[in-house]
Structure 1
């Protein structure tokens, strides 16, 4: 069969090296010629941010970071950036921190240098997300794509083992969703498959030994590939579900993705055989769902949405919000009843089985 597809590669500089974050950031700020830098880092990551940014002068340090980026928090941060005359944003932290920097960049055009401390992947995409009135809205805007990403596996040591697993499975969700997302193509499918391989290997290493440097590097490398694939392929069924659960019910981002992933994979895989084969091969398994669940078992991954505050009574409402958001290109037809069944299984932590 002839290959026909339309692929856009995002332009971004990536600096990768364990123990090199401070050195690379200092050099990058000088290269960009920035004079008035705003450093964004959550209060609990202040010590890490101080170390990473020790070689630069910060005009303002901002720590009012909240998950899912409430619009009112974004507007306050935008005002600080404009009032200070900021010409570069440096964000040090996870997805919420990167998300706030993106919210500023979206309206101001100020460039971003991102220094991730988790496996969230937001730093490698041009996707933004804001929450307003208990509804999370996402979109695509090239202004929010960080100009440079500085990866340093040493910065992920601050992540406890459980959060490392959840954050890594969030990255894995980018890979798997990219296999059948609206703009999927052979290039991002190849990146996603390599991302799955690296994440599966790296997460097993990190879970067995939190000080496993090679495992952390592989996980961080896989998370980057996952994000690049996701940025190209777009947001599929999995992400639409998780954005509603996070934005409307304030569920924790990484744990929600880690829990929901196996249910969406079990739902879609039988209707996307080529994608399912790619996923299975990346897991070195005979079956996509089997390979994913074997990894989840090895990692003792999050199992049930009820463990994170989601109420069974909210399932009908959640399904009604999710259904209109599911891409028409999803490989399996989706109904309100199907979403309710999926959410109920994920709420309870039941084995993800969906009949053809």
Structure 2
């Protein structure tokens, strides 16, 4: 057994069906009496229904969470929370809404209750990403880790099929990077493998039967397992490129992760042979990168940056931004190789 360091994360996780009914009691358990409910524009009605259910425990609703967590949106939400006298936030939605809750907590230390409706996994990590002036930056701090996560499988039954697929592969990316992280350990490796396996089994079922509650439960559990791992260990090239593409080109989050993942795996496979062999085995493929790519294509997910609206002339700038800050990665960071990776992802070629 190799020596390792394992830092467990604090927090309370409630998983099941119908667990949305426990929000009020969790607000009380946190010692709060005034919660601001957060959602994105497309889930404003869901947020309003939750606010109504909470009665006097909710002081208002902010429904303008945006992709990549723009700083000006966060500042607007913080101002509303303070004006209304809120003492905590309740976020219900996908990664954009959860990201807003974390950005608010970073500025205010408000306790958070988050209720994910996708598989983005942000709720289980100590990472917050924020975008300002076209640049997305991330930081890792316990200040943004939610105090309570409520997973309600029922809330994912109506998740659109396309978003289910890309959000699920986005979740798998968390675990794959955890397997080759510089600070990986046997505990996160075990959980990561289980998360990838649950999602790899559930997503094909959901692509044909999106209301399959057992597969929805497996996918949601798998997403939590994958995110839990990346909340403990370090991020590497895949996440850096996706954050850069999102912040610089405003590309959609889960779709960008889906497209980039097989090419980031190709880049790092020579330096993480054992980790990638585990992924290939789980996916039933001779190659981790090809297994990921083929799974995404089978699920009807996008396979190229061109499909997402990127322009080839933007790739040089993305490569430059990706090289502006050092970060741990199995393979040495080389601008030319990163640019080649981006060009392959732009074309959507099947990895060699």
CA deviation profile, 1:116-167 (whole Å, cap 9, x unmatched)? 0110101111111111111001001211111010001221133211111111
1:259 match? 259
3-state SS of the aligned residue for 1:307?
coil
The Cα of 1:27 is off from its aligned counterpart by: 2.3
3-state SS of the aligned residue for 2:10?
coil
- The answer as to 2:37 corresponding to 1:46 is no
Q: TM-score, normalised by structure 2?
A: 0.95
1:346 match? 345
CA contact (8 A) 2:126 2:145 kept: yes
- The answer as to 2:229 corresponding to 1:229 is yes
CA contact (8 A) 2:293 2:351 kept: no
1:183 match? 183
- The answer as to 2:308 corresponding to 1:308 is yes
- After TM superposition, the structure 1 = structure 2 runs for residues 79-228 of structure 1, keeping only pairs within 5 Å, are 79-228=79-228
* Structure 1 unmatched runs, 5+: none
3-state SS of the aligned residue for 1:350?
coil
3-state SS of the aligned residue for 2:54?
coil
Q: 1:24 aligns with which of 7, 22, 30?
A: 22
Deviates more, 1:82-91 or 1:98-107: 82-91
CA deviation profile, 1:142-200 (whole Å, cap 9, x unmatched)? 11111010001221133211111111111111111111223222221211111100111
2:330 match? 331
Q: TM-score, normalised by structure 1?
A: 0.94
Looking at structure 2, the residues matched to 323 and 187 of structure 1 have their Cα atoms a distance apart, in angstroms, of: 31
1:37 match? 35
CA deviation profile, 1:197-221 (whole Å, cap 9, x unmatched)? 0111111111121111111111110
- The answer as to 2:4 corresponding to 1:5 is yes
1:281 match? 281
1:246 match? 246
CA contact (8 A) 1:125 1:227 kept: yes
Looking at structure 2, the residues matched to 341 and 309 of structure 1 have their Cα atoms a distance apart, in angstroms, of: 18
Looking at structure 1, the residues matched to 159 and 179 of structure 2 have their Cα atoms a distance apart, in angstroms, of: 28
CA contact (8 A) 1:237 1:326 kept: no
3-state SS of the aligned residue for 2:324?
helix
CA deviation profile, 1:283-317 (whole Å, cap 9, x unmatched)? 24443223323322321221111111111001111
Kindly tell me: are residues 319 and 305 of structure 1, through their superposed partners in 2, closer, same or farther at Cα, counting changes over 3 Å?
A: same
Runs in 1 of length 4+ with deviation above 6 angstroms? Answer: none
CA deviation profile, 1:78-120 (whole Å, cap 9, x unmatched)? 1111222211100000011011111111011000000001101
Q: CA RMSD in A?
A: 1.5
CA contact (8 A) 1:74 1:104 kept: yes
CA contact (8 A) 2:166 2:301 kept: yes
The Cα of 1:54 is off from its aligned counterpart by: 4.4
Kindly tell me: are residues 182 and 78 of structure 1, through their superposed partners in 2, closer, same or farther at Cα, counting changes over 3 Å?
A: farther
Kindly tell me: are residues 228 and 331 of structure 1, through their superposed partners in 2, closer, same or farther at Cα, counting changes over 3 Å?
A: same
- After TM superposition, the structure 1 = structure 2 runs for residues 48-87 of structure 1, keeping only pairs within 5 Å, are 48-57=46-55, 58-87=58-87
The Cα of 1:346 is off from its aligned counterpart by: 0.5
* Structure 2 unmatched runs, 5+: none
Looking at structure 1, the residues matched to 61 and 222 of structure 2 have their Cα atoms a distance apart, in angstroms, of: 30
3-state SS of the aligned residue for 1:151?
strand
CA contact (8 A) 1:170 1:257 kept: yes
CA contact (8 A) 2:47 2:63 kept: no
